[in-house]
Every structure is written in structure tokens, then in C-alpha cells.
């Protein structure tokens, strides 16, 4: 088996280089000022994702008063959900899961 010597790379100790590898640092790039011609094009999927999120709102928020009200109705046996509202909510959650 023959091991050939490879050229040394900055910050990487090689077979012939027993010294500790010195980290290399570079200055962070200065952000460029946006020009008047800069623009962003969103894909159709990104536009759909934005529309779905704006339609269904924030799914992480819960309304404590509404939850209490629904629990009371369910416990009393008087809760009758709106089938269209349930379907819309389920489809919105599925779409958000698929897109996001």
C-alpha cells in the first residue's frame, strides 16, 4: 500500500504536517445595499402557502373561553358542529401540513 503526500490545505493537518491545525478566519461579507432594481419572485407554491396561512390564521393560538364553552356543550350533549366549518378547518390544516 502506498500513501502519497497531498498538498497541504490551510487549517488542515496533513500526513507530513504534525503541527496543530490553525483555524482560518475571514471577515464577514458586508451586506450590499438593495438597489431599486432588486426584486423577489415567489413560486406558485409559495404564493399558495401564503394564501392558505392568511386564510386559516395562526393555528398555534387557542381561545380558552371558546374551549371552555365547547367542553360545556359537549358534556351537556348539546354540541352540534357545523359540517362545512369542520370540513374547511380540516382541509386548511391538511393544506398547511402539506405546504409547510
pTM higher than the cut 0.85: no
- Please tell me whether residue 9 adopts helix, strand or coil conformation: strand
Nearest to 88 by CA among 46, 52, 48, 49: 52
Delimit the domains of the chain by residue range: 44-99
| 1 has a pLDDT exceeding 50 | no
pLDDT digits (tens, 9 = 90+) for 65-79: 888 999 999 999 999
Q: Which residues contact 59 (CB under 8 A, 6 or more apart)?
A: 93, 96
The C-alpha atoms of residue 33 and residue 31 are separated, in whole angstroms, by 7
47: pLDDT strictly greater than 60: yes
Burial of 92 from C-beta contacts in 10 A (0-12 / 13-18 / 19+): middle
- What is the CB neighbour count within 10 angstroms for residue 53? 16
**What confidence score (pLDDT) does residue 46 get?**
81
**CA angle 67–72–75, rounded 5-degree value:** 120
Distances (CA, A) of 55 to 18, 92, 95: 62, 8, 11
Amino acid at each position: 500500500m502506498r500513501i502519497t503526500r497531498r498538498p497541504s490545505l490551510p487549517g488542515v493537518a496533513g500526513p507530513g504536517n504534525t503541527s496543530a491545525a490553525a483555524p482560518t478566519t475571514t471577515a464577514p461579507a458586508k451586506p450590499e445595499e438593495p438597489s431599486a432594481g432588486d426584486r423577489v419572485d415567489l413560486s406558485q407554491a409559495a404564493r399558495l402557502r401564503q394564501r392558505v396561512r392568511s386564510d386559516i390564521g395562526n393555528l398555534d393560538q387557542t381561545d380558552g373561553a371558546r374551549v371552555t364553552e365547547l367542553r360545556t356543550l359537549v358534556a351537556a350533549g348539546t354540541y352540534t358542529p357545523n359540517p362545512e366549518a369542520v370540513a374547511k378547518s380540516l382541509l386548511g390544516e391538511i393544506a398547511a401540513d402539506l405546504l409547510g
